[in-house]
């Protein structure tokens, strides 16, 4: 028996004015229009009031002369414009923010893992650090580090050396070793890029071979080895053939390279003065001098000497330093750093006379104020040509690697060489890292705990040790939980750097306040603040969101 289906009445279409989807779109459009109207009213109101008061509303003031100095930062003079001054502030903000982000990440990972340690002491120390620092206002922490710690450090002449390393602490800041690029660095950088390309090609080829044969290949190790080979060859080639560095010395000294200064320095030591101070050492080689200097330094630092004995030891050190080789060069130039590091590497004390230009260094050398004039071969050739007796001075080409280790060293009442962190920068960086690191540590701890315990048990069943388990299994999976909240901490660190004005570090806000007071363009300066911090924050957020997508788990 055939059956007929009942006639089902089709549902009538909903009018658009009752459709929830359409109403939502209309509401958003209306809200957007209202926001635009509101901001247009604000802008129009500001323009009208500014015109009534005779105020300028443009940004032409950025081209006016600043007429104030900035304590630190990129190259800047008081005759530069307000725009240049604000750019110095932006660079200083980026400098402390980027370094702070890197150090905060490292501190957060270490402390976060330490809090989960089975070692009771390590775990409790990490817990105490986190709970105390997170409950201290950042501004109070900055004041404490700046006024109670850094400014209370010894004077420059009595700088404290950290663990015997070339790191010096004093109330003028912190001097640490650094790397300085020479003229050969761009060529070596090309080798580095070539090494990266070679490593990527090798990785791709071996990955395909691994898929075809099914045999495991140490792709990472092979790629790193290939990269290091190319980088090493580039280092050797550029150091030997791409250097344009040279030194100029008196021809009467018979100098052919830096090694010859060893005998000159040893011969310049006043043995009679040492004997008068009670020294019985016979100093015939540079190694003898280095060992004797170390002995005297250890005696002073031991604190067991009487005042009379300490005075004698200090006098002997002064005699050893009186024979220091004097170097003239442009301050903080690659020539100065290379020559000074070459001498210090040979345990030869050097007194650097850093000036602003090659001509000033040449004038000091011509006046007999220094033993060595350092610069590029072309610069020294020009300076030699204008000397009264050019033939009495010898130009010696020196090899300089692409990167020179710039090591600080005491010189009289100052610390010469190295990378110097001002008290303001050091206090701000340390404060931001310590404060933000406490939050980062909790984020890392939470991310590790978010990984299923089954993953840990499986890793142990495979025979992985704790380090391998953490590096290969736990942290890669924890990253998807760690990155989103860590992004917020990075943004907080960047914005909190504006507190630098409280301790005198010339960041964007500090420089901007000076520009505001000098120019009177308050609204424009505040707009620059907003745009700058918004741009930095969006850049950090965009990069980390991209990275978060890369490490996110891909589910089937």
pLDDT tens digits for range 149-178: 999 988 887 788 887 788 888 888 888 888
Stronger pLDDT, 343 or 414, i.e. the higher one: 343
Distance (Å, rounded) from C-alpha 133 to C-alpha 439?
9
For the cut 50, the answer to whether the pLDDT of residue 389 exceeds it is yes
**Spatial strand order in the sheet of 168-170:** 160-161, 168-170, 173-176, 419-421
Q: Are 76 and 59 in contact (CB under 8 A)?
A: no
The pLDDT value given to residue 238: 87
Span of 222-236, 309-323, 419-433 with lowest mean pLDDT: 309-323
Confidence at residue 8, expressed as pLDDT on a 0 to 100 scale: 53
Residue with the two structure tokens 């459709």: 19
Task: Give residue 3's pLDDT.
Answer: 54
Q: Which of 243, 247, 240, 245 is nearest to 185 (CA)?
A: 243
- Position 1 scores a pLDDT of 47
Alpha carbon distance 69, 284 (integer Å): 50
User: Mean of the pLDDT values across residues 169-197?
Assistant: 88
Q: What is the pLDDT of residue 90?
A: 94
pLDDT average, residue stretch 208-222: 81
125-127-129 Cα angle (round to 5): 70
Please check whether residue 491 is in contact with residue 537, taking contact to mean a CB–CB distance below 8 angstroms. Answer: yes
pLDDT band at 550 (very low <50, low <70, confident <90, very high): confident
Regarding predicted confidence, which is higher, 241 or 529? Answer: 529
What would be the CATH architecture of the domain defined by 82-138+422-551?
Orthogonal Bundle (1.10)
Instruction: Compute the distance between CA of residue 123 and CA of residue 111 in angstroms, rounded to an integer.
Output: 9
Q: Sort strands 372-376 and 350-355 into parallel, antiparallel or unpaired.
A: unpaired
pLDDT band at 514 (very low <50, low <70, confident <90, very high): very high
Distance in angstroms (rounded) separating the CA atoms of residues 517 and 72: 20
- List all residues 6 or more positions away from 432 whose beta carbon is below 8 Å from its beta carbon: 96, 100, 104, 138, 493, 496, 497
At 106, list the tokens: 């490292």
The listed CATH number (1.20.120.450, 3.50.50.60, 3.20.20.70, 3.40.190.10) that belongs to domain 246-402: 3.40.190.10
Summarised one tens digit per residue, pLDDT across range 92-144 is 999 999 999 999 999 999 999 999 888 889 999 999 999 999 999 999 999 99
Average predicted confidence (pLDDT) for the chain: 86
- Whether the full predicted model's pTM is greater than 0.85, yes or no, is no
| pLDDT score of 398 more than 50 | yes
Q: What are phi and psi of 420, to 5 degrees?
A: -100, 125
């Amino acid at each position: 028996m055939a059956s007929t289906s009942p006639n089902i009445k089709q549902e009538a279409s909903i009018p658009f004015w009752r459709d929830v989807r359409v109403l939502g779109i209309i509401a958003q459009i209306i809200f957007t229009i209202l926001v635009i109207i509101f901001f247009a009213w604000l802008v129009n109101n500001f323009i009208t009031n500014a015109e009534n008061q005779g105020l300028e509303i443009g940004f032409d003031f950025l081209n006016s002369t600043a007429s104030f100095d900035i304590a630190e930062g990129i190259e800047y003079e008081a005759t530069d414009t307000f725009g240049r001054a604000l750019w110095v502030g932006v660079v200083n903000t980026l400098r402390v923010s980027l370094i702070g982000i890197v150090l905060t990440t490292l501190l957060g990972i270490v402390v976060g893992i330490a809090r989960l340690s089975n070692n009771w002491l390590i775990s409790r120390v990490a817990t105490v650090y986190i709970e105390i620092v997170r409950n201290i206002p950042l501004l109070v922490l900055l004041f404490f580090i700046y006024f109670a710690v850094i400014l209370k450090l010894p004077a420059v002449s009595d700088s404290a050396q950290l663990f015997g390393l070339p790191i010096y602490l004093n109330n003028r800041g912190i001097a640490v070793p650094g790397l300085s690029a020479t003229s050969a660095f761009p060529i070596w950088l090309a080798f580095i890029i070539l090494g990266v390309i070679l490593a990527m090609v090798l990785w791709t080829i071996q990955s395909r071979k691994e898929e075809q044969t099914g045999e495991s290949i140490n792709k990472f190790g092979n790629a790193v080895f290939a990269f290091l080979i190319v980088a090493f060859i580039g280092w050797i080639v550029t150091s030997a053939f791409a250097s344009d560095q040279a030194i100029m010395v008196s021809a009467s000294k018979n100098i052919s390279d830096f090694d010859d200064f060893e005998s000159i320095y040893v011969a310049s030591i006043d043995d009679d003065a040492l004997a008068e101070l009670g020294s019985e050492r016979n100093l015939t080689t540079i190694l003898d001098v280095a060992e004797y200097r170390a002995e005297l330094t250890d005696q002073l630092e031991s604190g067991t000497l009487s005042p009379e004995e300490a005075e004698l030891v200090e006098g002997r050190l002064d005699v050893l330093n009186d024979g220091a080789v004097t170097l003239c060069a442009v301050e903080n130039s690659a020539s100065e750093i290379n020559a000074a590091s070459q001498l210090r590497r040979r345990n030869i004390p050097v007194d650097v006379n850093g000036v602003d230009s090659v001509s000033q260094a040449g004038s000091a050398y011509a006046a007999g104020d220094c033993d060595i004039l350092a610069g590029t071969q072309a610069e020294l050739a020009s300076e030699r040509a204008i000397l009264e007796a050019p033939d009495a001075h010898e130009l010696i080409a020196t090899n300089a690697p692409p990167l020179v280790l710039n090591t600080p060293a005491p010189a009289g009442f100052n610390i010469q060489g190295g990378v110097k962190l001002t008290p303001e920068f050091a206090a701000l960086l340390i404060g931001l890292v310590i404060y933000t690191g406490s939050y980062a540590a909790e984020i890392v701890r939470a991310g590790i705990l978010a990984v299923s315990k089954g993953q840990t048990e499986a890793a142990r069943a495979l025979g992985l040790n704790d380090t391998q388990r953490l590096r290969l299994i736990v942290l890669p999976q924890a990253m998807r939980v760690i990155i989103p909240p860590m992004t917020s901490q990075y943004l907080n660190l960047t914005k909190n750097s504006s507190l630098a004005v409280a301790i005198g570090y010339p960041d964007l806000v500090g420089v901007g306040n000076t520009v505001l007071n000098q120019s009177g363009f308050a609204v424009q300066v505040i707009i620059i603040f907003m745009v700058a911090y918004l741009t930095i924050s969006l850049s950090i957020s965009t990069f980390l969101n991209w990275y978060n997508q890369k490490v996110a788990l891909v589910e089937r």
